[in-house]
Structure 1
Amino acid sequence: MEKNEKKESLEEMFAVLEKTVNQMETEELSLEDSFALYHKGMDLLKKCSSTIDQVEKKMLVLDEEGETHEFEM
């Protein structure tokens, strides 16, 4: 990723994913276009999953004494 390239937020990725799914459901597409949209959607899902994993790893939990601890699943 280049320095001046903005990292997409999770909400933006979900919006693009929703648009991709809608295109697949509502448009008459060739097999090639369907596969291209499918792969685009799968790549977005991987990015979303990776972003969620990163957020979960950064989460902190406050205990009763007000001290923070890393969130463990």
Structure 2
Amino acid sequence: MSITAVAEPAALTLSDRCDRCGAQAFVRAILPSGGELLFCGHHARAVEDALRPQASVWQDQTEDLHARPEPADD
């Protein structure tokens, strides 16, 4: 019997862009083949019903859309 460890994907950053429109990505879909797709919140909602059941991992950080940035320490 072999056990395969699955690492949690890294958090999405400002440089991660939606594959459909180029906006900031908040959702990552990792496919069983190992490929990944990145989506903004809008496009993630548009494809979620069809794509989520096929994805190995559905990483959703859309809660970050309304997060307020921490003030900088002076």
TM-score, normalised with respect to structure 2: 0.28
Say which one has the larger Rg: 1
Between Structure 1 and Structure 2, the one with more strand by share is 2
RCO greater where, 1 or 2, for CA within 8 Å and sep 6 or more? 2
TM-score where L is the length of structure 1: 0.28
